[in-house]
Structure 1
Amino acid sequence: MKPSCRRSLLLCMLALASAPAFALEPFVATYQAFNEGKLAGAAKMQVLKTDASRWRVDLGIRGTRGFARLAGLNIEQSTVFDTPGERFRPLSQGTVKHAVFTGKKISGVYDWQARSARWQGDVKQSRTVPVPLQDGDMSALLMNLAVIRDAQPGKALSYRVVDSGRARDYQYQVAAQTEIVAVEELSYDAMRVSRTNGGNDETIFWVANGVPTPIRILQRENGHDTIDLRLVEYQGVQ
């Protein structure tokens, strides 16, 4: 893994062209957070190895005062997971949402022996019922890493996400051609990965070979940009 990536387009493209296949390694990445096209805060994603067999992925979004008023956008999420074979298997999940006058905390445990997952905290009663687990199930955060691992030009991706008391299927399509994605001083030859079964709610990732985290994550509703995270820096963690 490259220790950092703040460089010219030419150097970045040369590095990506010679990058090895995806290998899970610790990193920390910093994003600009936009809301409806306006800079509204910052975000941090990190992957840490907690012991010989377990990892943790975290995502935290921090907004300006006005951004914080928008429910659910000042948020901290975390998933502890292991990696049997080449899978990312969730073991526990937590979410903390911050708002001006209130907040919400949700925690979940994935019991792979019982093959069920269960959540507690500030979650609807209907979502406290155990959710049956299937091989390959992931949390929403782990899907971010899986997209990095799996994306290839023209490839269709399919994931089952069990998170916050429910299971959902996600279908993505990787564009056949790469495109240049630039944020401040960073430029990447990136693959666009678009959700195909989200209806009016779209999620688009841009990923680049050799970069352990999405270059950009864009959420759209009814054809309009909402939350937009754009990578500004990343580095490996010892």
Structure 2
Amino acid sequence: MTYRLLLHSILALGLAAASSLALAAEPHAFTATYAVSKDGSPLGRATVTLKPAGHGQWEYSKHMQGTSGLAAMLGANLAETSRFRWSGDVPEAISYDYRMDASIKTKQRHLAVDWASRRVTVDEGKGAQTYAAVPGMVERNTTALAIGLALRDGKHQIELPVAVRQEIEHQQFKVAGKEKVSVPAGSYEAVRVDRTDADRGFSAWYVPDRYPLPVKLTQHDGGDLTMELVSFQ
């Protein structure tokens, strides 16, 4: 091999390695806003943020305020806050707090992971439950982010260990194809992802080369809840 060919090969390998590192890079801090509707009627607006929390941890939060319809009448507000650490490109859970406030009821959940003992503790105010932690596990709030990063890395079938109330669920997701979607943020040729291991309908549309979160998400459990991207910064 000549010197020129050897140099060309070294440069090509270096570019390939750099591309691989860029593909697996952690996302930057961001703020995304979504319009939320239920059964086709406006419900409110959700704000999703990702920011560093220090000591190698990150905070991922979602806040939704009911501004229309029954949600506004009930003064409904939802807050979800997650702490995690990166395990490769997976947001591995450290803690998760959920709180829903309305004039008729309040619901909350606290989840914490002790990685030294590999135990998960979940408390909804009626006594704590514990179960074994699984490396690479996420929780309900960070699932959408984990799916987006897996799609960015070229995966078409995704399995995520998700910490829920009493156990780890190994949730299955699959790319169903590409579809054109229009949301307040714009029109996109998006990748549709469906959950395949549950009867409850879940579909999300991603543009993985632009955003780590879906531009549109629908959940059919308990009514047709839809979130559509308004802005991403």
TM superposition score category, shorter chain reference:
0.7 to 0.9
- Looking at structure 1, the residues matched to 68 and 211 of structure 2 have their Cα atoms a distance apart, in angstroms, of 31
1:202 counterpart residue number? 201
- Looking at structure 2, the residues matched to 227 and 47 of structure 1 have their Cα atoms a distance apart, in angstroms, of 23
1:231 counterpart residue number? 229
**1:162 and 2:163 correspond:** yes
- Looking at structure 1, the residues matched to 52 and 168 of structure 2 have their Cα atoms a distance apart, in angstroms, of 26
- Whether the aligned pair in 2 keeps the contact of 1:191 and 1:206 (CA below 8 Å) is yes
Please give the TM-score of this superposition, normalised by the length of structure 1: 0.79
- Looking at structure 2, the residues matched to 35 and 204 of structure 1 have their Cα atoms a distance apart, in angstroms, of 15
- Looking at structure 2, the residues matched to 171 and 70 of structure 1 have their Cα atoms a distance apart, in angstroms, of 36
RMSD of aligned residue pairs (Cα, Å): 2.4
Counterpart AA for 1:120: D
Q: 1:84-139, CA deviations, whole angstroms, 9 ceiling, x for partnerless residues?
A: 3333111111010112222122212101111111022435x5xx221111112111
**1:145 and 2:163 correspond:** no
Counterpart AA for 1:88: P
- Looking at structure 2, the residues matched to 234 and 118 of structure 1 have their Cα atoms a distance apart, in angstroms, of 33
SS in 2 for 1:67: helix
Shift of 1:140: 1.1
1:10 counterpart residue number? none
- Looking at structure 2, the residues matched to 162 and 70 of structure 1 have their Cα atoms a distance apart, in angstroms, of 32
Identity %: 22
Q: 1:33-77, CA deviations, whole angstroms, 9 ceiling, x for partnerless residues?
A: 000011111111111111151101111121136432899x73111
Counterpart AA for 1:179: E
- Whether the aligned pair in 2 keeps the contact of 1:69 and 1:100 (CA below 8 Å) is no
Shift of 1:141: 1.7
Q: 1:162-204, CA deviations, whole angstroms, 9 ceiling, x for partnerless residues?
A: 033432221111023x2221113511221000011111x1111
Counterpart AA for 1:21: L
Structure with higher RCO (Cα < 8 A, 6+ apart) = 1
- Looking at structure 2, the residues matched to 217 and 204 of structure 1 have their Cα atoms a distance apart, in angstroms, of 6
Task: In structure 1, list runs of 5 or more residues that go unmatched.
Answer: 1-19
1:189 counterpart residue number? 189
- Looking at structure 2, the residues matched to 47 and 134 of structure 1 have their Cα atoms a distance apart, in angstroms, of 23
- 2:46 corresponds to which of 33, 43, 46: 43
- Whether the aligned pair in 1 keeps the contact of 2:89 and 2:149 (CA below 8 Å) is no
2:130 counterpart residue number? 130
CA 1:56–1:154 in structure 2 vs 1: closer, same or farther (change >3 Å)?
A: closer
2:123 counterpart residue number? 120
2:180 counterpart residue number? 180
Please give the TM-score of this superposition, normalised by the length of structure 2: 0.81
Counterpart AA for 2:215: I
